[in-house]
């Protein structure tokens, strides 16, 4: 069997067009960096206005109508935008006039992503970039034929990653809606079921302290909307927490022994009347935020205590908790898995981007068509599997 490596198209192009290496050029040699300006004098329209955080609004005038890479000047300087339709930009972001006889605009975009321009921050307060610093940034500039092949590979990878992200997000949204639907059905009872005010089944009281304990320790500290620290003492155990200041009406499950600050209401269940997890699911389903008042959101303890909930027999509560906890676990797993999956895809893109651009510049890192095709196949297979699973679920 031959050990000779199969050449990729990129290999062939590099050998044909730049066998002796690739020149690195400063940005000022291949593009012009332009300032933004105010847009408020113009009327509404369909032209996007970009700031450092992305699209701000739409107007009826454009400043540039050719492909460009937008580079934030202040604020979110780690974000770059590739725009190939007419646009306007304000003074917090630069746009670029790219010499397309030398470089492919999308190639410049991928190269600048690799440079991590946030490392060039020149300010001690709000992160900032200057034209002087940016103009000196160097990128490899192989012939256009090689740039186009690199862009093809990376854009294909980016497109597949975006499709996968959309699929995962849609899956999470669908599962969440399904969970909310079944939770509402399971927690809606006939008129024969006893309805009780919360004060009859729950010993509610505010948490302690207007400041977050910072002594460290084994017990999590809950505010009005989740864990905010750790401490060495606790004032509640396995009970729902309802925010009454700030994120008023939010419902959080306090797992195990924990400490609740004044921003949260501890809902200690009366154990011979109500299951603590059943109480939690009921509070979530009731949308307690409906009872919030005031300009600064506040949930009155007396109002909260009078809200009525259905209280079936304890054995019924336990069966419902078993079903709802399973649904809850599935949704939680998806919430954890989605960001991790997206992050993994982003890291793969960055790896292939860096490898391709390094090889284009030096010839030292080699990725064959077989490798890039295999990565594409993996992502396509994952998407196909998810579509098949959803179709199976619908038929079931």
Query: In the predicted model, is pLDDT for residue 365 greater than 60?
Result: no
Which comes out higher in pLDDT, residue 382 or 249? Answer: 249
Cα separation, 381 vs 383, whole angstroms: 5
Average pLDDT over residues 227-245: 92
282-303 confidence digits (pLDDT tens): 998 888 888 888 878 888 888 8
Mean pLDDT score, 344-364: 75
| pLDDT above 70 as % of the chain | 85
How many C-beta atoms lie closer than 10 Å to residue 69's C-beta?
24
Task: With a cut of 60, say whether residue 382 has pLDDT above it.
Answer: no
E strand map for the chain: 24-26, 31-34, 44-51, 54-59, 68-72, 81-83, 88-89, 93-98, 138-140, 195-197, 202-206, 219-222, 227-231, 236-243, 251-260, 264-269, 308-310
Q: State the angle between helix axes of 144-186 and 105-115 in degrees (0 to 180), rounded to the nearest 10.
A: 70
Assigned token pair, 235: 């004032």
Confidence of residue 6 (pLDDT cuts 50, 70, 90): very low
- Cα-Cα-Cα-Cα torsion 335, 175, 246, 209, nearest 10 degrees, comes to -60
Residue 370 has pLDDT above 60, yes or no: no
What is the pLDDT at residue 84? 97
In the predicted structure, residue 187 carries a pLDDT above the cut 90: no
Task: Give percent above pLDDT 90 in the chain.
Answer: 45
> How many other C-beta atoms are found inside a 10 Å radius of the C-beta of residue 278?
24
pLDDT of residue 146: 87
Banded model confidence at residue 364, pLDDT cuts 50, 70, 90 = low
Helix and strand element counts for the chain (H, E): 9, 17
pTM to 2 decimal places:
0.61
Give tens-digit pLDDT for 47-106: 999 999 999 999 999 999 999 999 999 998 989 999 999 999 999 999 999 999 999 999
β-strand 88-89 against 251-260: which pairing, if any? Answer: unpaired
The three-state secondary structure class of 283 is: helix
Measured between alpha carbons, how far is 99 from 141 in angstroms, rounded to an integer? Answer: 12
Token pair recorded at residue 16: 């044909």
Half-sphere exposure of 345 (CA within 13 A, CB side): 24
What does the pLDDT average to over 311-319?
Answer: 92
Contact 259, 221 (CB under 8 A): yes
């Amino acid at each position: 069997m031959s050990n000779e490596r199969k050449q990729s198209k990129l290999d062939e192009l590099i050998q044909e067009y730049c066998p002796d290496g690739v020149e690195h050029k400063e940005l000022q040699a291949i593009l012009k960096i332009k300032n933004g300006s105010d847009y408020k004098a113009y009327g509404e329209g369909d032209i996007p206005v970009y700031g450092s955080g992305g699209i701000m609004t739409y107007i009826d005038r454009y400043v540039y109508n050719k492909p460009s890479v937008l580079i934030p000047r202040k604020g979110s300087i780690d974000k770059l935008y590739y725009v190939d339709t007419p646009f306007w930009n304000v003074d917090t972001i630069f746009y670029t006039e790219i010499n397309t006889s030398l470089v492919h605009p999308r190639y410049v975009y991928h190269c600048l992503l690799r440079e991590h321009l946030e490392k060039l921050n020149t300010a001690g307060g709000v992160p900032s970039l200057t034209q002087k610093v940016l103009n000196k940034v160097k990128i490899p500039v192989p012939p256009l034929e090689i740039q186009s092949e690199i862009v093809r590979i990376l854009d294909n990878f980016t497109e597949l990653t975006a499709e996968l992200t959309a699929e995962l997000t849609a899956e999470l949204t669908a599962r969440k809606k399904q969970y909310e639907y079944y939770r509402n059905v399971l927690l809606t009872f006939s008129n024969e079921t006893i309805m009780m005010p919360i004060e009859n089944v729950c010993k509610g009281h505010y948490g302690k302290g207007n400041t977050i304990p910072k002594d460290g320790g084994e017990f999590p500290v809950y505010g009005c909307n989740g864990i905010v620290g750790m401490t060495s003492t606790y004032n509640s155990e396995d009970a729902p927490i309802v925010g009454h200041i700030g994120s008023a009406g939010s419902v959080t499950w306090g797992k195990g022994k924990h400490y609740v600050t004044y921003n949260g209401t501890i809902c200690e269940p009366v154990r011979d009347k109500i299951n603590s997890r059943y109480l939690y699911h009921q509070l979530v389903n009731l949308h307690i935020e409906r009872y919030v008042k005031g300009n600064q959101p506040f949930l009155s303890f007396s109002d909260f205590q009078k809200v009525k909930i259905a209280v079936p027999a304890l054995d019924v509560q336990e069966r419902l908790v078993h079903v709802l906890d399973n649904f809850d676990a599935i949704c939680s797993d998806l919430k954890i898995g989605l960001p991790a999956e997206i992050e993994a895809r982003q890291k793969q893109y960055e790896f292939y981007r860096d490898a391709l651009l390094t090889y284009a510049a030096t010839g030292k890192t080699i990725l064959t068509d077989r490798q890039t095709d295999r990565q594409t196949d993996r992502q396509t297979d994952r998407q196909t599997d998810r579509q098949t699973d959803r179709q199976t679920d619908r038929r079931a």
